[in-house]
Amino acid sequence: AFVLFKMRIIIELLKGITGILKPFLYGAVIAYLLAPLCNKIEEKLFQTFPKANRKAKRFICFIAIVISLCVALAIVWMVIMLIIPQVWDSVMKIIDMVPQKITILNNWIEHMLENQPELQAYFEEFANQAESHINSLLNVDTIQKVQSIINSLSVQVFGVLGVLKNISLGFLISAYLLGSRKLFGAQAGLILHGVFPDKWAGIIEEEIRYTDKMFNGFFVGKIIDSAIIGVICFAGTTLMGFESAAFIGVIIGITNIIPFFGPFIGAIPCGLLLLLENPMHCLYFIIFIFVLQQLDGNVIGPKILGNTTGVSSFWVLFSILLFGGMWGVVGMVIGVPLFAVIYDIIRKLVYRGLRKHKRESMITDYEEKYHKS
């Protein structure tokens, strides 16, 4: 009853705590994504120096962490250097093209309405109202306008600086998390077996391993898949002679991390940019993205990811829409592996209940009919 009546206060408190701990959340995500690479580097170095003593092993772990962080920072820097100049050029081109495109559109509409006096009068009335509305907006007190612009820019600048601060601290915290990941794992095991009986501790431990396998396999595979799609998109748009090919390839590659809808989400701003430059390029680009999405969904994705989640296409779409509606872009990214974990827990509970009621034959029939065929 207390939780229900104080739900708003509890949510605000949790939001405040989350805001304070954002650098640790960023660091945990970065460390989790870099852990497989760090483990691989450690494994290779230990194979190269099999007789290393304890001090040398600690130094090898340190070298593996430094290399992993350098790789991550290099990738981030390359992406930023590809995006920012292209975005700046695209914005300046749009600013230069918009007046010309508006004039062309206005002339085209007037030409189309030459023989339609009623529609022409309606269009002129609409244009006059729009012009008067724009003039009324421009005639607002200049001091108030400048003050609102400065306030808006200040909020945006502080927001960007806050994100950059959290990411910078996140990389620093991720180094400590990577260095202590084995210690934290051992401590978690002690807590788990200290709080729960051995039976339940084993069940929880097994489910945690499954969750780690699901998220790790999905994210690593999806990042590799998205990098390949970005390179293919860059090569295709370059061959077709599109401007801002690098910018388009990066946007399509990044948004491809979102399952199912990712390529289309990235195609919208890129398509609008190409539409302003050349409408035919926009049409070719839409066809190219559709073919690329089919190639990724039927060939590249299954080869890299396989059946990582074990979830059907219907539940993939359901999880993206559900968690995307709840948590936005983050929900769309983590929705599929999270739903796969929930699906696995429900499946195990149902199977446990069937075995408890002596219905093993139903499990066998279901597996043979829907999973082994």
Label residue 137 by pLDDT band (50, 70, 90): low
**Span of 86-95, 245-254, 362-371 with lowest mean pLDDT:** 86-95
Instruction: Convert the pLDDT of each residue in 224-238 to its tens digit.
Output: 888 888 889 889 988
Which amino acid type is present at position 168? S
Which of 291, 284, 257, 258 lies closest to 270 in space, CA to CA? 284
Q: Is the pLDDT of residue 285 over 70?
A: yes
**Span of 79-83, 172-176, 197-201, 355-359 with lowest mean pLDDT:** 79-83
- Write the Ramachandran bin of 141: left for phi over 0, alpha for psi from -120 to 50, otherwise beta: beta
Average pLDDT of the residues in 28-53: 88
Average pLDDT of the residues in 60-84: 87
Residue 304 in tokens? 């890299």
What is the predicted pLDDT for the residue at 88? 76
What is the predicted pLDDT for the residue at 173? 92
Label residue 249 by pLDDT band (50, 70, 90): confident
Are 145 and 138 in contact by the 8 Å Cβ rule? The answer is no
Number of neighbours of residue 27 by Cβ within 10 angstroms:
23
Label residue 38 by pLDDT band (50, 70, 90): very high
- 177 φ, ψ (degrees, to nearest 5): -65, -40
315-348: buried (b, 16+ CB within 10 Å) or exposed (e) per residue? bbeebbebbbeeeeeebbbbbbbbbbbebbeeee
As a whole number of angstroms, the distance between CA 79 and CA 103 comes to: 36
Average pLDDT of the residues in 194-204: 89
Residue 362 in tokens? 């139903």
What is the predicted pLDDT for the residue at 331? 85
As a whole number of angstroms, the distance between CA 115 and CA 40 comes to: 72
Q: Is the pLDDT of residue 118 over 50?
A: yes
Average pLDDT, the chain: 82
Percent of the chain with pLDDT over 90: 11
What is the predicted pLDDT for the residue at 254? 87
Number of neighbours of residue 366 by Cβ within 10 angstroms:
14
What is the predicted pLDDT for the residue at 138? 55
Identify the top-confidence range among 111-125, 143-157, 213-227, 357-371: 213-227
Predicted model pTM = 0.74
Residue that wins the pLDDT comparison between 222 and 102 = 222
As a whole number of angstroms, the distance between CA 244 and CA 85 comes to: 10
What is the predicted pLDDT for the residue at 66? 92
What is the predicted pLDDT for the residue at 113? 66
What is the predicted pLDDT for the residue at 373? 42
H helices of the chain, in order, are 2-5, 7-20, 22-48, 54-112, 117-138, 142-179, 181-195, 198-239, 245-255, 262-277, 279-295, 301-305, 313-327, 329-356, 360-370
Average pLDDT of the residues in 171-191: 91
Kindly report the length of the chain: 373
Spell out the residues 6+ positions from residue 204 whose beta carbon is closer than 8 angstroms to its own.
192, 196
Residue that wins the pLDDT comparison between 25 and 6 = 25
Residue that wins the pLDDT comparison between 1 and 130 = 1
What is the predicted pLDDT for the residue at 175? 92
What is the predicted pLDDT for the residue at 14? 83
As a whole number of angstroms, the distance between CA 30 and CA 20 comes to: 18
